[in-house]
Amino acid sequence: MSRISAIKNGIVAVLKADSAVQSLLGKDVHGEYPVYPSYFLPKKKFPCITVEEITDQAEVSGLKDGYDGTKRYQWQHAIVQVDCWSAKGQAERNDVADAVMKCLLKNSVSDALYVQEPSVTVHDELDVQPSLWRKSLRFKVMYVLEV
C-alpha cells in the first residue's frame, strides 16, 4: 500500500471515530458509520462521506529534505478529496461538511504531518432521482517520505 493510500485510510478511520460525524451520519445496513474509502456510490445510506485520493505523491520544493547519513527523507504532498453527500438537502450536506472540516483540522491523520484547510466545491446533482447534494472538500496533505 502506498503512503497516500495509508493516509486516505487514516482519514476514513479518523472520520468514523469522530462523535460529531457519527451523530450526523448514523449507521448503514452493515452497522458501520457510512464513511467509504472511494467515490463509488452503490446504494448507500445517506447522508454519507466518500474519501478519494486525487493526486499521488509529489515532492515539495523549497522545504529542506532530511538526510541522516544513510537515508534521505523528502517532503511530499498529495490531495485527498472528501465528499459529503445528502439526499435531504443543502442543510444536511453542509452540517456533514462542517463536521468533517472540524474533525480533520483538529485530529492527526496517520502518516500525515499536516492537513491544510480545504478548498470547497459544491456539486449538487438536482436532475437525478433522488436528487443528491454533494460538497467536495479537497485537503492538501503533507508528509515525509523515505527515498
Q: What is the pLDDT of residues 10-27, one digit of tens each?
A: 999 999 999 999 999 989
In angstroms, rounded to a whole number, what is the distance separating the alpha carbons of residues 78 and 143? 9
Mean of the per-residue pLDDT values of the chain: 86
Q: What is the pLDDT of residue 41?
A: 62
Q: What is the pLDDT of residue 118?
A: 96
What CATH class does 3-146 carry? Answer: alpha beta
Would you say 45 and 82 are in contact if contact means Cβ atoms under 8 Å apart?
no
Q: Roughly what angle, to the nearest 10 degrees, separates helices 90-106 and 3-17? A: 110
Q: And the C-alpha cell for 20? A: 460529531
Domain range annotation of the chain: 3-146
Q: What is the pLDDT of residue 77?
A: 83
Q: Residue 21 — left, alpha, or beta (φ > 0 → left; ψ -120 to 50 → alpha)?
A: alpha
% pLDDT > 90, the chain: 50
Confidence of residue 58 (pLDDT cuts 50, 70, 90): low
